[in-house]
Structure 1
Amino acid sequence: MGSEQIVGQALASVLPKHQKSWFRIPHLLHLNFILLVPLLSPAVGGYDGSLMNGLQALPSWKFYFRTPQGQTMGVVNAAQSIGSVLALPLAGFISDRFGRKKTLLCGVITVIIASAIQTGAVNLGMFIFSRVLVGMGTILVVQPSPMLISELCYPTHRGKYTSLYYTFFYLGSVVAAWCTYGAEKNLGSSDWAWRGPSLAQAGFSIIQLIMYPFLPESPRWLIANGYITKAREILARFHAGGDSNHPLVEFEMQEITTGISSEHAQHKTSWSSMVDSPGKRKRLLITISLGIYSQWCGSSVVSYYLPLVLESVGIEDPKTQTLINGCLQLFNFFAGVMAAFLVDYLGRRALWNWGGIGMLVSFVIWTACSALFDQNSQNNSAGMAVIAFIFIYYFHYDIAYSVLILSYPTEILPYSMRSKGLSIELGVIYGSLIVLSFLNPIAMASFGWKWYLLFCVILVISIVTNWILLPETKGRSLEEIAELFGDSTTEVIPSEKENIQSEVSHVEEAEVVKEGPKAPQISSFRN
């Protein structure tokens, strides 16, 4: 597939002409390796969700905490989401004020501390507190990471990497699922059957902490905060092999600086600016609606209550439940990775529409089979069909929401809206999880399979909404995507572009001789 089909003709024309694969080019290999630091962020959240599925199936955990049920179980599962919502305003503030990288570090340290507390929990209150703290740490690593990835990626890799990002949620799920399965099989009734997997929750964060010193800051954040020379150095080092005068570096510096300068000059950095034009209101509507649909499409039933779903079709053995959970998470991970590599070929709209229709069909059949089993508990075929369609449903969820839920909003939101918009979306996601954590166990106990009908209706609405609202972003840079929403790609007229580029050069020259930790702010670029 040609570069112009991935990033557009203008950007493709300035890309270095490499004659070998990216993994044989040292600076690109280095960049893609250190991007593993933000890529591992969703694995922290994925580990937690799968961990709770596994722990609910462990007799040792049930015995130690006296088998939480109903509202109590809802609090246990909602605790992580509550912590995430509480930390969201802080995450957005730190990310914009102090940088994506420092926000990530705060989250990594918080998760490690929370995992230690959860491992040593002596009562349910302490366990719930640790999960609130895990939620706070999770949001501090998840919120800045997709921005850091999209703003650091080599242009032709951006679509794949940003789409690959949330599939790492399932990497965490896989590790947690098999940890709990192994603990149940080998440790039995020992407390370490649940304390061991709780301790392992810190694993991904420890890896991130070790690699953290090698991770650069976002060039866009650096430019927005006046660190022009540093931004150029990072772009040159990782995109052009150290050539700071390469046409690609010049193109990226010009495009980023012009767009950010325009937003600052027009004072478009406040919360109210997110709704000051039709294009921005459409972006915000898309971001919020995707956050809602990602949880209210039925995925939350399995994400935190798979044991209840399996018990509803007669599968009650803990080993079997944890085994199915482990296989499902492994399946999800590979399905998501496959879809991430199809993003630049099929496009975003194709995956949204394919995934939505597939989810609806499989969830309807899942619901029908659950109803048949409810009427006749001896109907083993219906029970097995439910398990099969859980996998089919998740395949379609993975190719749409797992790969695009954060990468798509990151692409369509301009720089001034990006951090705030992702905070809003994550607030909607985790707010929905709080509600559903309480509703799902109560509703499933009261209504059984009839509760699934609500999700079928929401799936229909989501398909129609996404079909109408979501534009195709393939083949455009982050700044060029603005055209899809009726905005100019830069919002600056040509003569202003020349002045801005001239001022950037003056600022960079001044930085060479100026002593001090920080360069002039982006406001100095205004005409």
Structure 2
Amino acid sequence: MRSCYGQGRPLRAAIQTCCLAAFLFFGYDQGNFGGILQNPEWLKTFDYPDETTTGIIMSSYCIGALISCAVNFYIGDLFGRRRMMWLAMAFIVCGATLQTSAYTISHLIVGRIICGIGTGIDSSTVPMYQSELCEKEKRGRLVSWEVLFIGVGVVVAYWIDFGFSYLSGSVSWRTPIALQLVFAIVVVVLVWGLPESPRWLANRGREQEAVEVLCAVFDRTPNDPFIMEQVLEIREAISVERHAGAQKISGLFKNDRVKTRRRVILAWFMLFMNQLSGINIIIAYIPTVLVKSVGIDPKIATVMAGCVVVLFCIGALVPSLRLDHMGRRPAMMWGSAGLGICMMMVSILLSFHKRSTSIGAAAFFFLFMFVFGVSINAVPWVYGPEILPLVARTRGTAISVSSHWLWNFFILMITPTLLARLDWKTYLIFMATNFSFVPIVYFFYPETSNISLEQIDKLFIDAETDDGSMEAGEAGIGQSGKGGTDTKIEERQISSSRGKAQAS
């Protein structure tokens, strides 16, 4: 087992630091171009691109990320978590270099596509790796810290863009892009000393190595009851899932005993909700929106954009500390309702076409970012990897993350045109989508807080009823109105495969 960081707490800290650095880059790359779009030197270099061209430049990044989902789908289980992170950083270094040296739009787009491939692999692999190397009681919080660092990266990007905007020449926009290389190099160095995921090792038949990793991460001996319980659960999960055929590509789309198809759809739709909340109108285009819709000076708009994203980070602190207590379902439901109200108020206030009401709309952009940070920002990234069966986790995560990048591409592509043609009516679209997510989460998504990855199988596994028929044991849906999952509820959920199942 490779580890340069000792064992126990130092090793867990190194794992978390590496994952945070990877998602800090993710956020930096997401926010970087939003602050550059209004840079006079960038506009001059690329001959003042129109709305359609701007949409193509911005969304080309997502094409690369979509390609990466296919890459991860086919080779993720072969390479493992660590090597996939290295591969991601290799693409990022190549893409960042091409973008930094670009003088034509086609050159820039190629660089963004390649960088997108790296970011897509990064975003598919890192949450999975973290989820498989932490205790069930801390899983939500630890993965939420990664998502918080997306916001930190976006904030860093906006303020770096703002600072460099005062310089003359192309260095004012090339340097912020080139700084992506720093994040990539840091991640490469950190990954070198980390162990492989014990779940991946066990799934590849390397159980002894998996035990060594678990012992090192939790600083225990192989005979410790905690380690023995973890190994037994992993073994049982692999056995049940393979018997159901979940490890096969075709098994991802079958309604098998562990409900793999349904779980993949749930994970995919979680990230659909993340994107159709309207977040990328703000993350990618907020300086442009503030200039064109609200009528603010470009320099002030860049400052305000940085402040808007700071609120996002403040909001993201809440799930980073409390998500396992809050629960996945409540956070998604009240978060969606809050975002819908924000979008409704933005539409109403912008519809008056007065500066005073437009400033009020800007205030609701701030509130939107705070609510998003508290809720829909974090939950989908936590929920996706944990809801999927172990033997299908790599491919299932690749499919679910493809939703993020597909709809990210769609939103980035159409936003300039929507804002130019619909103006304030654009926000009504996202008002409707956010409100629709509340009943969807209530009726279809089970609670997964404080349940081990292997025990989550038993929320979905078929259980034989008294009359011999088979029903889905999807306990947790009707019982999860509360944030956390108490011991009695968890026991009922886990025993559902032995008694009569609770249908949702």
TM class by shorter-chain length?
A: 0.7 to 0.9
Residue by residue over 1:65-93, the C-alpha shift from the partner in whole angstroms, topping out at 9 and shown as x without a partner, is 11112211111001100111112111222
**1:35–1:314 Cα change, 3 Å:** closer
Specify which structure has the higher proportion of helix. Answer: 1
CA distance in 2, matches of 1:343, 1:358: 17
CA distance in 2, matches of 1:179, 1:409: 32
CA distance in 2, matches of 1:172, 1:487: 42
Q: What corresponds to 1:14 in structure 2?
A: none
What is the letter of the counterpart of residue 199 of structure 2?
R
Contiguous gaps of at least 5 residues in structure 2: 1-5, 464-504
Query: Could you tell me which of 346, 358, 364 is aligned with 2:326?
Result: 346
Contact 2:136 2:450 in 1 (8 A): no
Q: What corresponds to 2:502 in structure 1?
A: none
Residue by residue over 1:113-160, the C-alpha shift from the partner in whole angstroms, topping out at 9 and shown as x without a partner, is 211221111222111111111101101211111110000113432221
Q: What corresponds to 1:162 in structure 2?
A: 143
| 2:221 paired with 1:243 | yes
CA distance in 2, matches of 1:319, 1:94: 45
Query: Could you tell me which of 172, 195, 218 is aligned with 2:174?
Result: 195
Within 5 Å, give how 1:53-64 maps onto structure 2. 53-64=34-45
Q: What corresponds to 2:444 in structure 1?
A: 469
Contact 1:104 1:141 in 2 (8 A): yes
Q: What corresponds to 1:422 in structure 2?
A: 397
Match of 2:196, SS state, is coil
Within 5 Å, give how 1:310-349 maps onto structure 2. 310-349=290-329
What is the letter of the counterpart of residue 364 of structure 1?
M
Within 5 Å, give how 1:224-303 maps onto structure 2. 224-239=203-218, 241-277=219-255, 279-303=259-283
Give the superposed CA RMSD.
1.8
Contact 2:274 2:380 in 1 (8 A): yes
Deviation at 1:193, TM superposition (A): 0.4
Match of 1:480, SS state, is coil
Query: Could you tell me which of 408, 418, 421 is aligned with 1:433?
Result: 408
Q: What corresponds to 2:86 in structure 1?
A: 105
Superposition TM-score, scaled by structure 2 size? 0.87
Within 5 Å, give how 1:10-21 maps onto structure 2. none
| Structure showing greater Rg | 1
Deviation at 1:242, TM superposition (A): 4.3
Contact 2:84 2:125 in 1 (8 A): yes
Q: What corresponds to 1:516 in structure 2?
A: none
CA distance in 1, matches of 2:222, 2:305: 49
Deviation at 1:275, TM superposition (A): 3.4
CA distance in 2, matches of 1:358, 1:73: 30
- Higher RCO by CA contacts (8 Å cutoff, separation 6 or greater): 1
Query: Could you tell me which of 90, 95, 99 is aligned with 1:114?
Result: 95
Contact 2:28 2:150 in 1 (8 A): yes
Q: What corresponds to 1:410 in structure 2?
A: 385
What is the letter of the counterpart of residue 260 of structure 1?
I
Work out the number of aligned pairs and report it.
456
Query: Could you tell me which of 122, 130, 150 is aligned with 1:149?
Result: 130
**1:26–1:289 Cα change, 3 Å:** closer
Identity of aligned residues (%): 27
CA distance in 1, matches of 2:315, 2:446: 24
Farther-moved stretch of structure 1 (75-84 vs 301-310): 301-310
CA distance in 2, matches of 1:258, 1:39: 31
Contiguous gaps of at least 5 residues in structure 1: 1-24, 489-527
Deviation at 1:103, TM superposition (A): 0.5
CA distance in 1, matches of 2:457, 2:416: 43
Contact 1:354 1:396 in 2 (8 A): no
CA distance in 2, matches of 1:394, 1:128: 28
Within 5 Å, give how 1:166-181 maps onto structure 2. 166-181=147-162
What is the letter of the counterpart of residue 313 of structure 1?
S
CA distance in 2, matches of 1:85, 1:199: 23
CA distance in 2, matches of 1:227, 1:395: 44
Contact 2:38 2:288 in 1 (8 A): no
Contact 1:406 1:422 in 2 (8 A): no
CA distance in 1, matches of 2:449, 2:274: 22
| 2:454 paired with 1:479 | yes
Match of 1:350, SS state, is helix
